[in-house]
């Protein structure tokens, strides 16, 4: 049985990724003639040209694109195997790597961490960032789960799957100085100061559409994707905020913030997203199966 030379496959993948033999040779610390010979041997083994030269650049042929797809999957699985192995024998604690968008309420992240800790001996690391960055890390299996309030993955992306864990109405709230605005809501919000989520947030678009539909103009004093900072500014009386009700439940209960009203038919939905893996992280698998936010009354 003829065996595939995985060194040749890796060299080909590196050339395709780097875009030229010279760049690939520098990355692999090989001489260009040596790497060219390795590529030639690999093409002869397969019986197909994998590149064609156009304007002094290497361009993948149709067969090259197909082989690259297999190469990416082969080395992705190899990386997954090493990640899985490295998580096991050295400690009794399983490792769980979670990514969370900056705009996800910290209380919800806390609830997920608490649930994970209740499922067994686990060591949890949390990475905050923006959506594309975290999804890329998830696909490369450097993260086990991503918590997102942006959107669910595309139904055509068969490497990802998602579960909605919370869908809460958006409310307007503020400090005691704004308490009187509960009367004649939402018209009372006209020209009032607000701290908004940043423009990339799906919630921001929902808020703007709501005010547009209601013909309300507001004064945007600040924008932030950090919900903790948003709540702090609201508690200090700098302006009003629009947030999911569960994110400020404790502050409202304690009287630090006051709920002025609800944005009709506007919600913040939170998704738990995982990537398809040959060997699933057992804690992540359990969270995807069973976790749902315990909604407050």
The predicted structure's pLDDT at residue 297: 38
Q: Does residue 81 lie within any of the structural domains?
A: no
The predicted structure's pLDDT at residue 174: 95
How sure is the predictor about 208, in pLDDT bands with cuts at 50, 70 and 90?
A: very high
How sure is the predictor about 296, in pLDDT bands with cuts at 50, 70 and 90?
A: very low
3 state DSSP class of 285: helix
Let me know whether 157 and 228 are in one domain.
Answer: no
Let me know whether 179 and 262 are in one domain.
Answer: yes
The more confident residue out of 189 and 204 is 189
**Cα distance between residue 122 and residue 107, in whole Å:** 20
How sure is the predictor about 135, in pLDDT bands with cuts at 50, 70 and 90?
A: confident
pLDDT of residue 170 exceeding 90 = yes
Q: Does residue 259 lie within any of the structural domains?
A: yes
pLDDT in tens, 63-96: 998 898 888 888 877 876 776 666 554 456 778 9
Q: Does residue 14 lie within any of the structural domains?
A: yes
Q: Does residue 86 lie within any of the structural domains?
A: no
pTM: 0.61
The predicted structure's pLDDT at residue 281: 81
The predicted structure's pLDDT at residue 166: 84
Let me know whether 127 and 251 are in one domain.
Answer: no
How sure is the predictor about 213, in pLDDT bands with cuts at 50, 70 and 90?
A: very high
Tell me the percentage of the chain whose pLDDT exceeds 90.
Answer: 40
How sure is the predictor about 101, in pLDDT bands with cuts at 50, 70 and 90?
A: confident
Beta strands in the chain, from DSSP E residues, in sequence order: 51-54, 57-60, 94-101, 122-129, 145-148, 160-174, 193-196, 219-223, 240-244, 258-275
The predicted structure's pLDDT at residue 160: 86
Let me know whether 128 and 41 are in one domain.
Answer: no
**Cα distance between residue 232 and residue 198, in whole Å:** 16
For 226-235, what is the mean pLDDT? 90
Q: Domain of 67: which CATH number?
A: 1.10.10.10
Let me know whether 182 and 36 are in one domain.
Answer: no
**Contact indicator for 130, 102 with CB cutoff of 8 Å:** yes
Let me know whether 254 and 193 are in one domain.
Answer: yes
Q: Does residue 206 lie within any of the structural domains?
A: yes
**Domain enclosing residue 196, as ranges:** 168-267
Alpha helices by DSSP H, 19-164: 21-28, 32-46, 62-86, 106-118, 131-139
Tell me the percentage of the chain whose pLDDT exceeds 70.
Answer: 90
The predicted structure's pLDDT at residue 89: 47
Q: Over the chain, what is the mean pLDDT?
A: 86
pLDDT of residue 128 exceeding 90 = no
Q: Does residue 85 lie within any of the structural domains?
A: no
Q: Does residue 1 lie within any of the structural domains?
A: no
For 252-273, what is the mean pLDDT? 92
The predicted structure's pLDDT at residue 92: 62
3 state DSSP class of 121: coil
For 27-52, what is the mean pLDDT? 91
Q: Domain of 193: which CATH number?
A: 3.40.190.10
Task: Count structural domains, the chain.
Answer: 3
Let me know whether 176 and 244 are in one domain.
Answer: yes
Decide which of 18, 39, 72 is a domain's last residue: 72
Nearest to 180 by CA among 263, 258, 239: 258
Least confident of 9-13, 128-132, 233-237, 284-288: 128-132
Taking CA atoms, 212 is separated from 116, 230, 244, 261, in Å, by: 41, 22, 20, 17
Let me know whether 130 and 258 are in one domain.
Answer: no
Let me know whether 148 and 109 are in one domain.
Answer: yes
Let me know whether 187 and 274 are in one domain.
Answer: no
The answer to whether the Cα torsion of 8, 14, 15, 17 is positive or negative is: positive
The more confident residue out of 74 and 208 is 208
Let me know whether 27 and 102 are in one domain.
Answer: no
Let me know whether 126 and 163 are in one domain.
Answer: yes
Q: Does residue 61 lie within any of the structural domains?
A: yes
């Amino acid at each position: 049985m003829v065996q595939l030379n995985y060194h040749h496959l890796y060299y080909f993948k590196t050339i395709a990724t780097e875009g030229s033999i010279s760049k690939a040779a520098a990355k692999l610390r090989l001489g260009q003639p040596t790497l060219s010979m390795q590529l030639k041997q690999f093409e002869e083994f397969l019986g197909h040209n994998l590149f064609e030269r156009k304007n002094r650049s290497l361009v993948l042929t149709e067969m090259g694109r197909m082989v690259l797809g297999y190469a990416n999957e082969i080395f992705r699985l190899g990386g997954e195997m090493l990640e899985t192995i490295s998580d096991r024998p050295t400690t009794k604690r399983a490792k769980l790597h979670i990514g969370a968008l900056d705009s996800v309420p910290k209380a919800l992240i806390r609830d997920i961490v608490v649930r994970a800790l209740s499922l067994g001996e686990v060591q949890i690391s949390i990475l905050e960032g923006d959506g594309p960055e975290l999804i890329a890390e998830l696909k490369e299996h450097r993260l086990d789960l991503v918590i997102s309030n942006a959107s669910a993955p595309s139904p055509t992306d068969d490497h990802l799957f998602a579960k909605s864990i919370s869908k809460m109405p958006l409310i307007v709230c503020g400090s005691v100085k704004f308490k009187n605005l509960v009367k004649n809501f939402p018209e009372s919000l006209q020209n009032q100061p607000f701290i908004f989520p940043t423009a990339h947030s799906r919630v921001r678009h929902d808020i703007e559409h709501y005010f547009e539909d209601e013909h309300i103009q507001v004064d945007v004093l600040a924008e932030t994707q950090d919900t903790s900072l948003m709540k702090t500014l609201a508690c200090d009386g700098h302006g009003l905020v629009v947030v999911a009700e569960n994110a400020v439940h404790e502050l409202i209960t304690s009287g630090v913030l006051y709920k002025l009203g609800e944005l009709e038919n506007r919600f913040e939905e939170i998704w738990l997203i995982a990537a398809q893996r040959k060997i699933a992280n057992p804690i992540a698998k359990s969270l995807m199966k069973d976790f749902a936010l315990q909604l407050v009354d």
